[in-house]
Amino acid sequence: MMGRVFVTTFTSPLFLLIYLFLFMMVAWQYRRMDKLSGRILDNGRKSYWKAALLSSFLGLLGGGLGSILLVLLGINLNNIGIAQLWLLAILLMLINPRFLCFAYAGGILSLFSLLTGYPEINVPHLMGLIAVLHMVESSLILLDGKFQPSPIYIKKDGTVQGGFNLQKFWPIPLVALIGVGMIEPGSGIDMPAWWPLLKDYPTVSPDQTYALLPVLAILGYGEITTTTTPAQRIRHSAGKLFAFSLILLLLALGASRWEALGLAAALFGPLGHELVIWLGQREERRKQPLYLQSGSGVMVLDVIPGTVADRAGIKSRDIILLANGQELQSLYALEAEWERSQGRVRLEVLREGKRMLCQLEQKSGRELGIIPAPDPYNRRYLLLQEDNIFGLLQKIWEKLKRLKG
């Protein structure tokens, strides 16, 4: 049945038009990231179409995974306040763009419902939906997060550091359940007695009929790393987000059987999401920056795919020590040697403590393609500031302690 709904949906001109619109939105976001990186570095990527195509393809896979989880759990889109959820999420976005995440709006909406009775929503199903979306997001981060990260210069702790913007977007088509009434004799599919895993209260009648409804959504992820490689940061972020979604899902399952756990699920949605952000920022703060010029040679922040440096095997974090036997102190010296030698340069490179040789050879229409780590004199950069509730509370607590002292 899910397969038939997917086929019917993807052959609908209206759906294809909407999905194309979402794809163009994703491509536009990636283009903005490329332009920002290019303005700061004078040498950015121009690969937003590839990034958008890959994200859209993986979004299809994520939509399939999410649909299976939604149906397996028996999450019913009826009576979970979708309209109120979107409205509150948009209002919260005006305070801070990251509050557009449903973890915040869903948690606040659930708390109001539990404490005041308005709006009347099914808290376990709403929080279960949010948990599934974040579980899918963690899988997409792991699959797509390290693909062509956008290099960037950032000023942090008074120092200009090199880093990578790991922002990603995925349009995902979902198939979800919606309750439509009682079943007609002899029609439909008999589900096992243990289904749905996520119960309603009061208990749903065994004769309840569900229809499968196509839904479109966009998932997003954003993080900047200066102290770990993109691959390392992606693994850590995906792991923490998966743990958050799994705990939230278990709370939602428990709340569908014991109403008292509904409050715990509602609170854990926004607070747990803030904890994930705070843990990532703490990890970034406690480690030393990776992408800084050391004074000896030229450290490579990134290499543009398809360029001369890429074909020669130059990689991020390589330190180029010599060019045709001449010591290097800046990328300008390498570019000057590149011009002087008419596009044939023998490099001595330090990679993970080992020296190796590389050969740069000019190919028609190909640029050098090396983006260096910043030096202390770079004047174009982003300002990076921590933004999380736990960090704010910690600062307030430290100020109170100083006042008492």
pLDDT tens sequence across 276-293: 988 888 888 888 888 988
Tell me how far the alpha carbon of residue 237 is from its chain's centroid.
Answer: 9
Query: Which tokens sit at 250?
Result: 């278990």
With a cut of 60, say whether residue 206 has pLDDT above it.
Answer: no
For residue 262, what pLDDT band results from cuts at 50, 70 and 90? very high
* Per-residue model confidence (pLDDT) at position 44: 58
For residue 399, what pLDDT band results from cuts at 50, 70 and 90? low
- Average pLDDT in the 50-71 region? 91
Burial class from Cβ neighbours inside 10 Å (0-12, 13-18, 19+) for residue 271 reads middle
Q: Give the separation between CA 337 and CA 344, rounded to whole angstroms.
A: 9
- Measured over the CA atoms of residue 102, residue 105, residue 111 and residue 117, the dihedral's sign is negative
* Per-residue model confidence (pLDDT) at position 163: 92
Residues paired with residue 179 on neighbouring β-strands, in sequence order? 210
For a pLDDT cut of 90, what percent of the chain falls above it? 32
Q: Give the separation between CA 264 and CA 389, rounded to whole angstroms.
A: 18
CA distances from 31 to 27, 51, 152, 186, 204 (A): 6, 9, 14, 53, 48
Q: Give the separation between CA 181 and CA 178, rounded to whole angstroms.
A: 10
With a cut of 60, say whether residue 49 has pLDDT above it.
Answer: yes
3-state secondary structure of 334: helix
For a pLDDT cut of 70, what percent of the chain falls above it? 88
Q: Give the separation between CA 333 and CA 317, rounded to whole angstroms.
A: 18
Q: Give the separation between CA 64 and CA 330, rounded to whole angstroms.
A: 49
> What's the chain's average pLDDT?
84
DSSP-H helix ranges across 74-144: 82-95, 102-116, 123-144
- Measured over the CA atoms of residue 264, residue 265, residue 268 and residue 269, the dihedral's sign is negative
* Per-residue model confidence (pLDDT) at position 336: 86
Query: Which tokens sit at 314?
Result: 């130059």
Residues paired with residue 156 on neighbouring β-strands, in sequence order? 159
- Assess contact for 242 and 137: CB atoms under 8 A: no
Q: Please state the CATH superfamily assignment of the domain spanning residues 298-373 in this structure.
A: PDZ domain (2.30.42.10)
Query: pTM surpassing 0.95?
Result: no
Name all contacts of 260-267 with Cβ < 8 Å and 24+ positions apart: 262/110, 262/114, 262/123, 262/124, 263/111, 263/114, 265/110, 265/123, 265/124, 265/127, 266/106, 266/107, 266/110, 266/111, 266/114, 266/123, 266/127, 267/107, 267/111
* Per-residue model confidence (pLDDT) at position 244: 96
- Average pLDDT in the 296-323 region? 89
Q: How would you classify the pairing of strands 319-323 and 159-165? A: unpaired
- Measured over the CA atoms of residue 52, residue 58, residue 61 and residue 67, the dihedral's sign is negative
For residue 296, what pLDDT band results from cuts at 50, 70 and 90? confident
Nearest to 349 by CA among 392, 394, 318: 318
Query: Which tokens sit at 308?
Result: 């001369």
Least-confidence region, from 155-164, 218-227, 379-388, 394-403: 394-403
pLDDT tens sequence across 339-377: 888 778 899 999 988 999 988 887 655 678 889 998 877
- Assess contact for 175 and 212: CB atoms under 8 A: yes
- Assess contact for 360 and 368: CB atoms under 8 A: yes
- Average pLDDT in the 54-83 region? 90
Rg of the chain (C-alpha set): 25
- Average pLDDT in the 285-309 region? 87
* Per-residue model confidence (pLDDT) at position 276: 92
Q: Which string of DSSP letters, residue by residue, matches 289-314?
A: PSB---SSSEEEEEE-TTSHHHHTT-
Least-confidence region, from 306-310, 324-328, 386-390: 386-390
Q: Give the separation between CA 82 and CA 352, rounded to whole angstroms.
A: 51
- Average pLDDT in the 10-38 region? 85
- Average pLDDT in the 224-242 region? 93
Q: Where do the structural domains in the chain lie, given as residue ranges? A: 2-185+194-286, 298-373
- Average pLDDT in the 171-189 region? 71
- The residues, ordered by sequence, that sit 6+ positions from 231 with a Cβ below 8 Å of its Cβ are 146
**Cβ of 62: how many Cβ atoms within 10 Å?**
26
* Per-residue model confidence (pLDDT) at position 116: 92
- Average pLDDT in the 50-62 region? 91
Nearest to 99 by CA among 242, 215, 273: 273
Q: Give the separation between CA 145 and CA 222, rounded to whole angstroms.
A: 9
Tell me how far the alpha carbon of residue 100 is from its chain's centroid.
Answer: 13
pLDDT tens sequence across 96-146: 777 888 899 999 999 999 999 888 899 999 999 999 999 999 999 999 988
pLDDT tens sequence across 73-102: 989 888 888 889 989 988 988 887 778 888
